[in-house]
Amino acid sequence: MKMSSTVNAPHVTIDGEHLTLEDVHLVSREHAQVAISLEAYEKVKKSREIVQRFLDVGKPIYGVNTGFGALANIRISKEKLKELQKNIILSHSAGVGNYLPEDFVRAMILIRANALAKGLSGVRPIVVEKLVELLNKKITPAVPEIGSVGASGDLAPLSHIAMVLIGEGKVVRDGKAVVFSPSDYNFQPIHLEEKEGLSLINGTQFMAAHLSLIVRDLEKLMEIATLVAASSVDVLLGTPAAFDERIQLARPHPGQIKIAQMLREFLDGSQIRESHKNCGKVQDAYTLRTIPQVYGAVLDIIQWVKEVVQREINSATDNPLIFEDEVISGGNFHGEPLALCADYLSIALTSMGNMIERRIDRLLNPKVNEGLPPFLAGGEEGLNSGYMIWQYTAAAICNENKVLSHPASADSIPTSAYQEDHVSMGANAVRKLRKIFENIVSLVSIEAMLVSVALDSRRPLKSSCKIEDFYGKINLKLSEDRYFGENFEKVKEVILKEVFS
């Protein structure tokens, strides 16, 4: 991908080879304009010519002049080939449930367009152009969340996008799903030709879109979560000794080394630390001492998933694929690589969340919070409960994460009359991951809220400059009981602004 930008109008150019996670973010959330490179246009055009050549000699091609799935051995007459492509879109639009957030739908469209731009799918250039037009005109198809088993690709979700291309289906307008009226958007629907319906829906873009956005956001969140963890160590009078570089180099996992370095930088110059430097404490509880090992492992997994997803968003994931002298049926639509990534991340984030919840308890629990007010309550003790119940909320979130972290990919249910007899369940894996990510944001927000109050109770001592700068945006005070939900929302807003920046 090549990218150019002006102050207000970034542009992303797709070529099937160089799309990045940041590009996906720009298009899906910042509404960057999208263009197709000239090289990609020529590749797509050539691929279509190959399909036409095979059609002219009557060569049987799956999904082009045959039925689909278990019906693959049924030949379709020449005069009905275009009807076949429209039928697959109509019949496969079988999604149910809540509609997918708009940024995830836009990410799906972009990644699908980029996959077709590789020139291995046999569609006409206008098909790619129409997908790009949806993005540039901010036409967002209404895509139900449930319906994909992650092989043969994300058929149902992608079909709901393709419905809009042919002038049918629903779009999201003013936050509501409404019947699509092409004239409202000056959009000319496309009439599909051979293979084009199948090429639009036979891919992994529901899964890839989720992972692209979540992994990008997780990289941002991990830095904030590490700062918040460091601030918990500080207000709980912990020691940074366990973050010593020599310890990390003795077990040189990259993530562990990186997190420990961040912790040292975040804690550097803290007056709170200096106030108890010679207290004689040898070591802290695991939730303070082993942050590099736990958060570092999560960071390593994020990096691995990022590499997988980066390859995926520049891959041809439909079937069959069109090569110079042959049309070959394969299995690139199978979502196993993405399903395993999502499940692995879900487990990792759940474990990280468990650690956050234990620090939340330590901040509130008078038995272990190093002299902070019980439950961070101001005023008369007993009359005020403070933030006591926020630990309950954290526990409820962690319990939900533990349920959601069961691997979707451990299951497979045969589809299409045993023809498609192993599926990845990757769509459910990424849906669960999205919820776990939201839950982790809430846990980090609760921890940060409590630390902000704890910092106030440690005055006049201050933490490090970096920690004080962050909490200056929050600035909560120790107080008598009131509705603390507003504090939580304030903290969460600060964190999300950092994540999505």
Q: Where are the domains of the chain?
A: 2-203, 210-499
Beta strands in 199-340 (DSSP E): 321-322, 327-328
d(CA 52, CA 44): 13
Amino acid, res. 475 = N
Closest among 337, 338, 336, 346 to 412, alpha carbons compared = 336
| Active-site residue list | 62
Longest dimension (CA), the chain: 88
H or E stretch including 173?
A: strand 170-173
The per-residue DSSP string of 110-142 comes to HHHHHHHTTS-S---HHHHHHHHHHHHTT--B-
Residue type at 42 in one-letter notation: E
pLDDT tens per residue across span 31-60: 999 999 999 999 999 999 999 999 998 888
Q: Which amino acid is at 217?
A: D
Ranges in the chain, pLDDT < 50: 1-7
Query: Helix axis angle, 388-404 relative to 426-457, nearest 10°?
Result: 160
Cβ neighbours around 440 below 10 Å, total? 22
Q: What is the pLDDT of residue 7?
A: 45
Angle between helix 205-235 and helix 291-312 axes, rounded to 10 deg: 160
- Residue 62: closest CA among 51, 73, 77: 73
What is the helix (H) or strand (E) element at residue 498, kind and residue range? helix 485-499
CB 148 within 8 A of CB 139: no
Q: Which fold has domain 2-203?
A: Fumarase C; Chain B, domain 1 (1.10.275)
- Which residues sit opposite 277 in a β-bridge? none
**φ and ψ at residue 11, rounded to 5 degrees:** -130, 140
Supply the pLDDT for residue 6: 42
Q: Which amino acid is present at 199?
A: S
CA distance 237 to 427: 44
Q: How many CB atoms lie within 10 A of CB 98?
A: 8
168: CB partners within 8 A, 6+ apart? 90, 180, 189
What is d(CA 149, CA 428) in angstroms, rounded to the nearest whole number? 7
Q: CATH for 210-499?
A: 1.20.200.10
Q: What is the pLDDT of residue 59?
A: 86
Q: Rounded to whole angstroms, how far apart are CA atoms 129 and 36? A: 8
96-99 and 144-146: which strand pairing?
A: antiparallel
Task: Please tell me the predicted confidence (pLDDT) of residue 420.
Answer: 83
Q: Put residue 148 in one of left, alpha, beta given phi > 0 → left and psi -120 to 50 → alpha.
A: beta
Per-residue confidence (pLDDT) for residue 4, from 0 to 100 = 42
Distance (Å) of CA 421 to CA 99, 198, 411: 28, 19, 12
